[in-house]
Structure 1
Amino acid sequence: MHRKLSNLLGFKKVLIGQMLVVAAFAGSAGAATSTNPADPSKVIKMGFEAADDGFDMIRTANFYSGWVSEVIYETLLTYDYLARPAKLVPQTAEAMPEISEDGKTYTFHIKKGIYFSPDPAFKGVRRELTAEDYIYTFKRVLDPQSRSVHASFLAGKIVGLDDLAAQAQKSGHFNYDAPVAGLQAPDRYTLRVTLNAKDYNFLNIMAYSAFGAVAQEVISTYGAQSGQHPVGTGPYMLQTYVPRSKIVLVANPEYRGFTWDFKPSSDAIDKQIVKDMQGKRMPQVGRVEINIIEEEQSRWLAFQGKQIDFDKMPQLAAPTVLDGDKLKPEYAEQGIQLQRVVDAGVTYTVMNYKDPTIGGNSLDRIALRRAITMVYDNKQEVSILRNGQATKLEMFIPPGVVGYDPTYRNSVAYDPALANKLLDHFGYKRGADGYRTMPDGKPLLLKFTREQAVFYQEMSELWKRGLDKIGIRSEFIINNFADNLKAATQCKLMLWGAAWMADYPEGQNFMQLLYGPNVGQGNHGCYSSPTYDALYQKAIALPPGPERNQLYLQMNRQIEADSAVVVNTTRIRSWLARPWVKGFKKHPILHAEWQYIDVDKH
């Protein structure tokens, strides 16, 4: 009872603090010269299927945090809205960077007149974006106290930055004022980055939302609470935030705006998008309202009730809504727009390599993980759980990403009979109740962690049916996505169903999820293999092409040899948008379309 009262009082304090910050936003915004063309009466309403984890992007790899952060913070580069395949373009940079002959030095010229959204941290002064803000942002990623899940994106890459981080590790203090040879600002608007070695993915990294500029004054003001007080130069700013419930974004009055001028790709829908949007001052949408609605059925009802403007069609609705790849007449007649896209992402099952029951490199543990992998029926997941709205994955790189090989076939197939023989051979004996023990006679129990939604319950049932066939007892622990992600990052979950969407369209972005030094970051299975790591290091030193792709294939074979992860599916998304939403096109890398679309009043 005392704990509940304490939690309640703490929650009230958080809400009061958030209300005061929102009020301060409103008070300081009036002093700024408004350049954002957004119309406050144009509102987009959405539902997220899982909760964010705050918006301090150096601390989280949460997909939904990244979705929102894309419109709050701005990176040096971004992606063209319509171009397919994805094409890098400048964002805060005036143009693509100048690159030295040796490929190690990048010079960015930052646009003048870009301002952070109004915030009390700036004490009433308009705060312009400068090159030093990116230098601070990059340094912060490698500050040991940040414990950034994205440190691997920069670690070992920028001349002198790792030395500064090493000094901070020893002293307990990161000296942000210390010069770094590889991070220089020759003038207020010029950023020069020098790398230790040529990095063929560096420009993709510069477009990743974790490297959107933050202001040091903001981080100093809010500290550990910076994730609930995001301040950037993007088109929107946070107005209301009720963790794991509701997010409201409003137009950043300091945002400079842009003219919609994208060239159509070969996609059939681009012609209409250009017709609807060409020449408009952007953003048009002045308010974005997001509710966390974890259950597919509830989100679907909200869309049908016109409480959500666009969303992924729930997999459970596919038989009702779709006739093959088209809408059934009753939905087409409503003017609903349909876009079918294959995710640039993977779903997979984490198997904790450090777990005392299933982890390690001994042959009996590899055999146990192999048997677990062999009893999960991916075809059943695709046909029954996902109603055909997915395809079985053979490798850990999805379609649409450089390094994907459509001819590749996984060497570990669904085969419960063979899995039983494997367990018998390595001494996992069945007891009188039919369930197996460890080779040393201790109980064998697999603990899966999952989220609340019905889909994950159905997936648990599919897992249990497979494990029962080989006599392995299992239990399923329910928790929310944000907490599960934190626990997986800390190597605390035995098994967990995860997904990864491309941060950039290159195989390295997926293969780094199994790279040993990334344990505690994106490597949620805490997998460590000297052979795999050596292949990874060799691959990232090569330019894109057949030689690097061949190494990716070898890395996939090593994953299979170690049974490091269960590769599941890539999802086929049917995005539905109401007829009043104009200009909507789902991007393979960007997630937040709000600054590129318009809403007819309705």
Structure 2
Amino acid sequence: MRRTPAQQRAAGWARLRTLAATVAATLTLVPLFPARAADGAAQSPTPTAAAPKVLRYAIRAAETGFDPAQVTDLYSRNITAGIFDAPLRFSYLARPYRLEPAVTDGMPEVLDDAKRFVFRLKQGIYFADDPAFKGKRRELTAQDLIYSIKRHYDPRIKSGHLYRFEGAKILGLSDVRAEALKNKTPFDYDRPVEGLRALDRYTVELRVANSDPRLLYHFADPMVGIVAREVVEFYGDRIMEHPVGTGAWQLAEWRRSSRIVLEKNPNFRELRYQEEVPKTGRPELIEAARRLQGRKLPMVDRVEIAVIEESQPRWLSFLRKEFDMLDDLPAEFAPIGMPQNKLAPNLAKEGVQAVRYERADVAISYFNMEDPVVGGYTADKIALRRAIALGIDLEQEIRLPRRNQAIPAQGIISPGVTGYDKQFKSEMSEFDRGRAKALLDLYGYVDKDGDGWRDLPDGSPLVIEYATEPDGQKRQLSELWQKNMDALGIRIRFKIAKWPENLKAANAGKLQMWGMGWSADVPDGENFLGLGYVGSKGQSNKARFDLPEFNALYRQQHSLPDGPERRAVMDRAQRLLIAYMPYKVHVHRIFTDMTQPWVVGYDKNLYQRDFYTYVDIDTEAFQRAQVK
């Protein structure tokens, strides 16, 4: 007898409960965190008068470190955002996203057709205590902001964000960098430059060669987390392990690729919750925003973050209430947790809250344009990449491993940012095996030795090597790649490594292909076009694409104000990426975060990354949940 949808969901939950019981019965689990008492704190042999509030969650890929100038991965940057202050920030709840001061006294002045910017820092902001300060209380000054910007130009740092400053060209700084590279000498941090100077103890003037109407966006990004020079010099090559900032948090414990613990920074300034109360949307968020007005930030005392790469244990740990939130519901469990894209009734009954959103991102597979097999700009190489892209069955990818939590991508620019056109259609989303095979045949990628596999036009074997990770969804995606390439007669093999290892190899140009995601740092399409810009080669431009026509368009749109003219230039640049296909852009993903009923005030802000600064733990709600 055919079961109803309700019966199917009930059966799914029964299977999940059985699985959880089996896991608990057959495995000896060593918890990453101590058990939580009913007051929301870790269990202690003696009761405390005011137990600390602890927020716990897990991330699905390991961090790389905590230096704003060096880290480029999402997970590390979400941590540095809480430890270091950038000059500006995005309002946590305001939509559309809105810039506001963080450590500046008002918004910076934008002068001379967006070629001169004046930042005035607030007085009385202090770094967290650290041995590097030799027992002295250390105030944030203009020189700290100047030093933090200069670090991106230091060749030794190998900043993955330099291209963002280079687009505007801060006057004089590129010359200092070029001199250090040419002479193989240390970067001269003390050399004055025209484009970056302190007007007084708290005021910085920044001047650029190219008009940059959106430069301030980058000053709300963790990449401009302000550091103290003496801390960097004190720790040297270990600076990734010793983050010291003026933000709300400080690193209390770190077990690499396993556990990260943040605690309140005792020196953090007086900052109150003054977020804009949403006029529409989730009722519980509106009520929370009203309740939290005027509260001192941060509201929790401690944040404990586990690294759990496999989806199943991360999901089951949330169901067992070991975590207060689930950052990104694994796609394979979306039919159970969010059937028909609505919160499962039993979770809703328990008070679980779900936030479903389109992250401004792309899921991509890149071709290394410097690789002798898949790279290059000649017609035969372009045909190979386009044929491979046409051979990817996106409908099956979205339906199976992604569980309908994505939409097909038409180009590199994601929804939710300036420059995205929902009417834009292209070859990028097409699946056409017949056309793919015809392209391969036309350009000489045929089976020359009779072994059943296509060869290169010169007769040597055609083999593509695709880098991936060992988690469940990546395994499923790899199986689809295998199936799709088998259908085209192309041999594919997979190079499996941990995510940080693949990131390092990708930046060094050592991978032929890699499947990865890219999330916007700022709400502007330039952030995605940068994936193809020569100035970001080895940084965001993992494909190492270098096309003069594209580079010129990228620089042109950079200096234009938002409007039809800029959109037209961005559109032409995007079409070049589709034509040359350095990236197969698969999908734009749809995410769901979940929180337990005692988490108050959570919302997904794509650009205000330290969400843990703006949420609270309702200990009474937690106690009620334990009684149930």
Provide the C-alpha distance between the structure 2 equivalents of 1:267 and 1:205, rounded to a whole number of angstroms.
29
Q: Which residue of 2 aligns with 1:176?
A: 189
Give yes or no for the alignment of 1:539 onto 2:557.
yes
Give 1:55's match in structure 2, choosing from 43, 48, 66: 66
Residue 304 of structure 1: aligned partner = 319
The C-alpha deviation readout for 1:228-251, integer Å capped at 9, x for no partner, is: 111111000111111111111111
Moved more, 122-131 or 159-168: 159-168
Is the 1:276–1:582 Cα contact (8 Å) retained in structure 2? no
CA shift at 1:380, angstroms? Answer: 1.4
Unmatched segments (≥5 aa) in structure 1: 1-38
| 1:429 and 2:446 matched | yes
Deviations 1:80-126 (A, max 9, x none): 01111111000010110122243321111111111111111111111
User: RMSD of the TM alignment (CA)?
Assistant: 1.3
The question of whether the paired residues in 1 share the 8 Å contact of 2:310 and 2:471 is answered with: yes
- 1:541 deviates by 1.6
Question: Is 1:552 the equivalent of 2:570?
Answer: yes
CA deviation profile, 1:249-296 (whole Å, cap 9, x unmatched): 111111113111111234412422222311211111111111110011
Pick the aligned partner of 1:458 from 462, 473, 476. 476
Aligned equivalents of 1:315, 1:272: Cα separation in 2: 29
The corresponding residue for 1:471 is 489
- 1:97: which partner in 2? 108
Whole-angstrom CA distance in 2 between matches of 1:557 and 1:175: 41
Aligned to 1:294: 309
| 1:370-409 Cα deviation digits (max 9, x unpaired) | 1111111122121111111111111111111110000011
The residue number in structure 1 matching 2:18 is none
Match of 1:383 among 399, 421, 425: 399
> What residue is the counterpart of 2:7 in the other structure?
none
In structure 2, distance between residues paired with 1:179 and 1:228: 30
Asked if 1:313 corresponds to 2:329, the answer is: yes
Alignment of 1:395-544 (within 5 A): 395-412=411-428, 413-430=430-447, 431-544=449-562
Displacement of 1:322 after TM fit?
2.0
Q: Is the Cα–Cα contact under 8 Å of residues 97 and 106 in structure 1 kept in the other structure?
A: yes
What is the rounded CA distance, in whole Å, between the counterparts of 2:155 and 2:496 in structure 1? 32
1:501-543 Cα offsets, whole Å, 9 max, x none, are 1110001011011101211211001111111111111111211
Match of 1:192 in 2: 205
Please state whether the residue corresponding to 1:44 is helix, strand or coil: strand
| 2: CA distance, partners of 1:346 / 1:280 | 36
Instruction: Give 1:322's aligned residue.
Output: 338
Say whether the 8 Å CA contact 1:40–1:285 is kept in structure 2: no
Query: Deviation at 1:444?
Result: 0.9
Is 1:272 matched with 2:287? yes
Aligned match of 2:45: none
- From the superposition, tell whether residues 395 and 326 of structure 1 become closer, same or farther in structure 2 (CA, over 3 Å): same
Once the two structures are superposed, residues 17-43 of structure 1 have per-residue CA deviations (whole angstroms, 9 ceiling, x without a partner) of xxxxxxxxxxxxxxxxxxxxxx87110
Give the alignment partner of residue 377 of structure 2, picking from 354, 361, 379. 361
Matched letter for residue 450 of structure 2: A
Q: Which moved more, 1:408-417 or 1:112-121?
A: 408-417
In structure 2, the partner of 1:251 is 264
Are the aligned partners of 2:364 and 2:516 in contact in 1 as well (CA < 8 Å)?
yes
Give secondary structure in 2 for the equivalent of 1:225.
helix
SS of the residue corresponding to residue 606 of structure 2 reads coil
Q: Distance in 1 between matches of 2:178 and 2:344?
A: 60
Counterpart amino acid of residue 165 in structure 1: R
Whole-Å separation in 2 of the counterparts to 1:266 and 1:421: 55
Counterpart Cα distance in 1 of 2:226 and 2:269: 16
After superposition, give the CA deviation of every residue in 1:172-196 in whole Å (9 maximum; x if it has no partner). 1211111111111121111111111
Aligned partners of 2:607, 2:308: CA distance in 1, in Å?
23
Work out the CA distance in 2 between the residues paired with 1:126 and 1:444.
62
Q: Does 1:164 align with 2:181?
A: no
In the other structure, the counterpart of 2:162 is 151
Pair 1:282 & 2:297 matched: yes
- Give 1:326 shift: 2.2
CA distance in 1, matches of 2:214, 2:396: 36
Q: Is the 8 A contact 1:264 1:274 kept in 2?
A: yes
Aligned partners of 2:300, 2:120: CA distance in 1, in Å?
29
> How far did 1:347 drift?
0.8
2:80 is the counterpart of 1:69: yes
Residue 87 of structure 1 pairs with residue 98 of structure 2? yes
Q: Distance in 1 between matches of 2:103 and 2:91?
A: 14
The structure 2 residue matched to 1:115, chosen from 121, 126, 129, is: 126
Q: TM-score, length-normalised on structure 1?
A: 0.92
Alignment match, 2:40:
none
Structure 2: state its 5+ residue gaps.
Answer: 1-49, 623-628
- Partner SS for 1:258: coil
Q: 1:266 to 1:391 in 2, by over 3 A?
A: farther
Partner of 2:418, secondary structure, is coil
Give the structure 1 partner of residue 3 of structure 2.
none
1:424, CA displacement in angstroms? 0.9
Using the alignment, how far apart are the partners of 1:349 and 1:296 within structure 2?
A: 21
How big is the shift at 1:591? Answer: 2.4
> Could you tell me whether the CA contact under 8 Å between 1:259 and 1:279 is conserved in 2?
yes
8 Å contact from structure 1 (residues 344, 589) kept in 2: no
> Which residue of the partner structure matches residue 21 of structure 1?
none
- Does the 8 Å CA contact 1:340/1:574 hold for their aligned counterparts? yes
Structure 2 residue identity aligned to 1:488:
A
Residues 40 and 287 of structure 1 are in contact (CA less than 8 Å); yes or no, is this contact kept in structure 2? no
Partner of 1:599: 617
Residue 255 of structure 2 corresponds to which residue in structure 1?
Answer: 242
Structure 2 counterpart SS, 1:523: coil
Secondary structure of 2:549's counterpart equals helix
For residues 30-41 of structure 1, what are the structure 2 equivalents within 5 Å?
41=52
1:343 to 349, 359, 376: 359
Distance in 2 separating the partners of 1:153 and 1:319: 39
1:140 aligns with 2:151: yes
- Between the aligned partners of 1:556 and 1:97, the Cα distance in structure 2 is 32
Secondary structure of 1:51's counterpart equals coil
CA–CA separation in structure 1 for the residues paired with 2:316 and 2:64: 26
Q: How far apart, in 2, do the equivalents of 1:425 and 1:378 lie?
A: 24
Paired with 1:197 and 1:515, the residues of 2 have a C-alpha distance of 16
In structure 1, what is the Cα distance between the partners aligned to 2:89 and 2:545? 31
**Local SS of the residue matching 2:83:** coil
2:599 aligned with 1:581, yes or no? yes
Picking from 238, 261, 269, the partner of 2:274 is: 261
| 2:129 alignment partner, SS class | coil
Q: 2:145, 2:226 within 8 Å by CA — same for their partners in 1?
A: yes
Q: For residue 510 of structure 2, give the secondary structure of its aligned residue in structure 1.
A: coil
Q: Secondary structure at the match of 2:384?
A: helix
- After the TM superposition, which of the residue ranges 548-557 and 425-434 deviates more from structure 2? 425-434
| Amino acid in structure 2 at the alignment position of 1:168 | A
